[in-house]
Structure 1
Amino acid sequence: MSASISVIIPIYNGEQDLPGLIETLRSQTYPASCVEYLLVDNNSRDRTAEMLIAASEEMATQGITLRPLTEANIQSSYAARNTGIRAANSEILVFTDADCRPQPDWLTLLIEPFAKENIGLVAGEVVALPSQNLLEKYADCKDVLSQKHTINHPFCAYGQTANLAVRRQAFEQVGLFRPYLTTGGDADMCWRILQGTDWEIEFVPRAIVRHRHRATLEELRSQWKRYGCSNRYLHELHGVDLQRELKGKESLRRLARWVLKELPINTLKVATGKGSAVELLQTPLDLFSFNARTIGQREAKLPEKAKEIDRL
């Protein structure tokens, strides 16, 4: 008999994302009778709430349980996830995001490792959605979203909540997400479990969730600045080493090398059909991203309330 699982998804202003998300949930191969989908509206200002109600009613006619929930007190995806955890009826809790697109066999593959009694967390892979956008191709080339980076983190393995499953028992032992934390909460939670209990984590590359990369320079800058903020917060919470900053002189040397050496070589490759625009612009995009991360790391200051841990 298939295990009972609860899928928890925080949503903020998800009007554009919901139709695609609902379709991927409807397409899951895991027995619908064993799954409840808890979609938590985090104080949205668009039509998210009414769309969730309509989707719940429609999916009920197909034998699929979708429960709309609300977290309006704290504006944080981690607080919304905590609301879902408290309402969940299952022992295995699965997390993804509203702008993710789980593949049909996602749930089936993701929960297989829980057959082993020592496994408390399971991370699936995050793969980019197809795109012709240059910045998205750049991020895809760098494998920015891949969980292989988080699983092999030098401090301690973790999984991103875009594609992660956790035993309820683990939350009972170490507490829930920090509700006032704005970034880095997935690493923090996983580390508290892996370092404070005997549970282990397993990576399932075949359990795939697709996600779109950032498509504009502003979105790319915001993403990498948030990575910097996360580094700072996790440094203060766990003593994690801060990412090495790219100093001004080093940036100028790398930019000069790009102009004088890399750009002419890669321009020739593109002209002869042996290279791509991504290769042509990789170094300046790297410098742009690393600079944004450095700014985030320098400017971030962990709020005192962000240290609080919710409990079941």
Structure 2
Amino acid sequence: MSSRTLSSVLRSRASIFKPRQPQLLHRVSCPNPGQTRSYAPKHSSSSSPPADPSQNDLLNTKLRTLINAIPPSQKIRYVKDSSPSSTTHPTTTPSLLSALLHPSRLPYTIGTDICHIPRILLLLRRQLSEPGYVEGEMPRFWTRVLTPLEARYSGWNSPGGVEGRARFIAGRWAAKEAVIKAVSAAYSGGRGKVFMHDIVILNAKTQSAIKEGLKAAARIEARESGGAQQDQLGGEGEVKGGSPRAFVKVPGEEGWVEVSVSISHDGEYATATALVAVDQKIAAGVKKEKSLVRGVVAKTYTDARYL
């Protein structure tokens, strides 16, 4: 193409090479008075008029106006303490550091656990519906949690249905788990490693049945031998209180140790807390103190609920 033809084309289409019009700069004030920043809106090829500001834009504008109206002296600012005693990181006091490095042995340890009753109910129903299950027998989970002594007096065939049995076994499961946690913290060196069948939880009715059975066995033995009946219970054949008592077989010389247990049911959950005495001397002192207090209360109040 010749230069003349090219120049004629350029002259006819000179509008293509028109320079862009400078865009209007909007100014927005910053929180600090006296400082401004400029920005240009995004370029739009369309010649349509700008749209009305949205509700969010109006709110942001009002918020910026309110912020700018606050004097700088009233704004919250972080001021670093420049005093000589201030440090970058907090430090422990000598007494706290000594307690951390030399922990004292507590007289008691506490264990707690919670069990979801519908989960236990689903497990029992699944085991009861197995093809090899015999009607009237205890399911595997029942004998896994309870010892033979507990299972004998647990009342598996008692009225209440599988829902009542699930509620009962959920409380026993939570109680034994709480005892395991408390015992493992009380006895160090692997001596506190106990399992479900190392723990026996008996309510007042079961305790009375066991003690009456021992008395009956002693009477039969005395009648057959022709001698006098001997009290094998040491004069403590009466059961007081309706709360269950827990006993755990600790490996070693301790043997069976009594543990304080509290079992609660609330809705779909069963919770339990266990208290284990670490020092047996303290436990013996507390037991003696309880017996003394019981005697004083018995003389002061005649109502049986205080005993």
TM-score (norm 2): 0.20
Q: Which has the larger radius of gyration?
A: 2
